[in-house]
Copies of this chain bind each other. A is one copy, B any other.
């Protein structure tokens, strides 16, 4: 079904079990907006929040100069207005459709009701959000504190630790994607992998990586050793 499919891609609901996604999709209302149409205004009471299915939504505030200040452009999978909605306050900014767009609307009362009847859903959402915060905190720290070889080593350790096979690893992303996840570029990643190979820490065959020296890799990841 269309709505449920869309809900899987909402970052706010990531990782929730199937049945809870279904419950959520039951209370969602589809709303269609024309290009240029207002979705809500700053100061409006947030009686619900929106999730973008298709199109792009501009969230903005009128700056003092009269000029408008764009705060975000949200696209498919992004939620808007969820913070004031959960809090029961007003929208701090206005939103307008940049394209013809389809959104899902989650009414506050229905949502409350849902959580009341199914406390697990609330707790699950809280747990999922907490888990993602933990990851993001590490990512922020990693980006500014560690150099590329450390970041890469930490990434590889993570992959190795989250699978059975402690010898060989199949990369799930293109190397360019991994580079960008690690906050660097393809070329640098390639050179770093090469250095690790030269030092006998790993062996790289396309997307397949064989772990040769786990201690060394761990040392690199923790920042105690260097390439």
Contact = CB atoms under 8 A, between A and B. Distances in A.
Contact of A131 (B64, B71, B87, B127): B87
Nearest to A164: B64
Interface of A: 11-12, 14-15, 61-65, 67-69, 71, 79, 82-89, 92-93, 111-112, 115-116, 119-120, 122-127, 129-134, 136-141, 143-146, 161, 166, 183-184, 214, 223-224
A122 B119 contact: yes
29 contacts: A61-B137, A61-B138, A61-B141, A63-B141, A63-B146, A63-B161, A64-B224, A71-B137, A83-B131, A83-B134, A84-B127, A85-B127, A85-B130, A86-B127, A87-B124, A87-B131, A87-B134, A92-B133, A92-B138, A93-B141, A112-B123, A115-B122, A116-B119, A116-B123, A122-B125, A122-B126, A132-B133, A136-B140, A143-B143
A93 B141 CA distance: 9
A67 to B, nearest CB: 6
Interface centre among A64, A92, A93, A129 (most CB of B within 10 A): A129
Contacts of A63: 141, 145-146, 161, 223
Nearest to A11: B87
Given A83-B127, A129-B126, A183 B138 contact: no
